[in-house]
Amino acid sequence: MKEELKSHIGWVVPSISQAVSFFKLIGYNEISERTYDPIREINILFISNINQVIELIEPSSNKSIVYSYLKRNGPGPYHLCLSIDLNKEISSLEKIKFFPITQKQEAVALGNTNVQFYYSNNIGMIEIASD
């Protein structure tokens, strides 16, 4: 898996194609192929400018994990993904009141890297990508 994809901002959109058109106007380029994640029922495309990577996330059905979020909140930032050694950092996350909201699962768009989502009332949702 490309290391540059591990740390990113997840951005929920109703249409990846329309979002890419906008982001290209402000200097972003596609850096991955569009990927379907059957576990989460989402389509994913990574884009980047010189400084940051964004994971565009589009629900593929009304059963998608992001479908109701998108309907309720509209498009926008969804999570921050961090590349850390979860086994080493779990106690630090727990100390600052992060708790897991999913089990570890492989993320097809990240080369089947294990990811797990955590939530904190102070920060919101983060995704941890760990080998």
The first and second tokens of residue 96, run together, are 């600052």
- What b-and-e string marks burial along 71-95, b requiring 16 or more CB atoms within 10 Å of the CB? eeeebeebbebbbbebeeebeebee
On whether the CB atoms of residues 60 and 42 are closer than 8 A, the answer is yes
One-letter identity of residue 106 = E
On whether the CB atoms of residues 73 and 11 are closer than 8 A, the answer is no
- Determine how many CB atoms are found less than 10 A away from the CB of residue 61: 8
* Bridge partner residues of 8 (DSSP): 81
pTM to 2 decimal places:
0.89
pLDDT at 89: 82
Q: What is the pLDDT of residues 8-36, one digit of tens each?
A: 999 999 999 999 999 999 999 999 999 99
Position 4 pLDDT exceeds 70:
no
